[in-house]
Structure 1
Amino acid sequence: MTITQYVETHLPGILAICTAEGWPSLPADPVRAHAVLTAPGVTTVVALDGEQVIGFAYLQSDGHIQAHLSQMAVHPDHRRKGIGRALLEYAAPLTGAQRVDLVTDTAEDFYASFEHKTFSGFRIYPG
């Protein structure tokens, strides 16, 4: 397994993982997805098994203090092998931030395994 920064050739693999997870936002528009994954302040990394994308992490950051883990997923056939941890440990320093915030509804035990503080949170949908 290799962890590396995202390039456009990784996009189909990321979109396939998102589709498998039931996350429609990125697969709905691949051009927009690539723009999102490479936007200013964004760090996107992938886990590769040869050329196959087996996981990815997408973080947004101010580059100094705050980063937010927006999405991270590992292909079901490759879970519980340390890939998620490797993705986050590789990506977090690249953001330049001192901390990473995130929201999860499926992986609390995984994220609790990192040094952390737990806070209450909200997702607001404008308009």
Structure 2
Amino acid sequence: MDHAYQLVELTPDRVPDVAALCRVALDLPDDAAEADAIVERLRHPGPLPGSAGERRTTGWVVLAGGSEVVGAVLGSTGFGDVAVGHVDLIAVHPDHRRRGIGRALLAQAESALADLGVGAMALVGNAPVYAWPGVDVRYTAAVCLAEASGYERQDIAWNMTADLTPGSPALAPTTEAEARLAGAGVAVRRAVAADVPGLVEFAAAHFGPGWGAEVSESAGIHYAVRDGEVLGFASWGSSRPSYFGPMGTASAARGLGVGGVLLRRCLRDQHEAGLASAQIGWVGPVPFYSANAGARIERVFFLYRKAV
């Protein structure tokens, strides 16, 4: 990075400038459209209700002309493992690329996180607070930066996309399925504020504290209950407005069709919120989402790590 630029720590007054930068620096339209929500989410410190551990954050920007934010990096210590540092976001303005800014930002984030005691770095989503599972393979410059900086690809993750336009399988009615569940004593409900602590507890107990924390931050939750016992839940809008998940069902509910109903109820919420599609993040059961929402694998991510 040449002397025309200045690398400084991110201060709260520059957070709106980082969001504005991301609106032009995130090359994929879905990411650029949610730039403000992404930056707000990634700036969230820990702890969160239901989570294990505390997330400490660091942020740095590169200035041109003393005031224009042309590059930014956000990082954090791991919720699950405080010895691992995460690079949550790195962005460089298109007009200022290939000048060493990305490399300087990455090195600064590594140094700042090392000062917080981490012994390894990851370009992996720091769930429950993350915007991507890893580096989207279409961000070629980011892939090149990671591999030139000594990161090793450890795994691959993927999102599935659910079409939310009228007539799509994701918006298929759930009325008949809910009636069948009611016949088996299962009620399906939209969560209200008073329901959330119990659902956070259920998610944390059955699927881990990270899921509990994501549920606590969700924009919407639907759940199934029988005889006062929660059988499953589905949520959306925790990581990003367009993201669905997490969702999970207790073993006692599997095979009843609870999951498909909860999934489509959430996707209907996202449609009503004005979204034309939803991202099912960090997917495990691909056949389930394909069968119940017509979802397809679309976004693929490389997950990188290195020692520091």
Class of the TM-score when normalised by the shorter of the 2 chains: 0.7 to 0.9
User: 8 Å contact 2:42–2:88 — kept in the other structure?
Assistant: no
Q: Aligned partners of 1:51 and 1:120: how far apart in 2?
A: 38
Q: Aligned partners of 2:112 and 2:145: how far apart in 1?
A: 21
| Shift, 1:109, TM fit | 1.5
Divergent runs of 4+, >6 A: none
Which residue matches 2:56? 41
Larger radius of gyration between Structure 1 and Structure 2: 2
Count of residues in Structure 1 that have an aligned counterpart in Structure 2: 124
Which residue matches 2:99? 81
Any gaps of 5 or more consecutive residues in structure 1? none
Which residue matches 1:117? 152
Q: Aligned partners of 2:122 and 2:109: how far apart in 1?
A: 13
User: 8 Å contact 2:42–2:74 — kept in the other structure?
Assistant: no
Any gaps of 5 or more consecutive residues in structure 2? 46-54, 124-133, 160-244, 248-308
Amino-acid identity (%)? 25
Q: Aligned partners of 2:83 and 2:60: how far apart in 1?
A: 20
Matched, 1:17 2:17: no
Q: Deviations over 1:43-68 (max 9, x none)?
A: 11111111110010011114952011
Q: Deviations over 1:76-123 (max 9, x none)?
A: 110010000101111212113222211212121221101122111336
| Shift, 1:29, TM fit | 8.5
Which residue matches 2:119? 98
Which residue matches 1:27? 36
Tell me the TM-score normalized by structure 1. Answer: 0.83
User: 8 Å contact 1:2–1:47 — kept in the other structure?
Assistant: yes
C-alpha RMSD of matched pairs (Å): 2.4
Which residue matches 2:305? none
Does the residue aligned with 2:111 lie in a helix, a strand or coil? helix
Does the residue aligned with 2:71 lie in a helix, a strand or coil? strand
Q: Aligned partners of 2:158 and 2:84: how far apart in 1?
A: 17
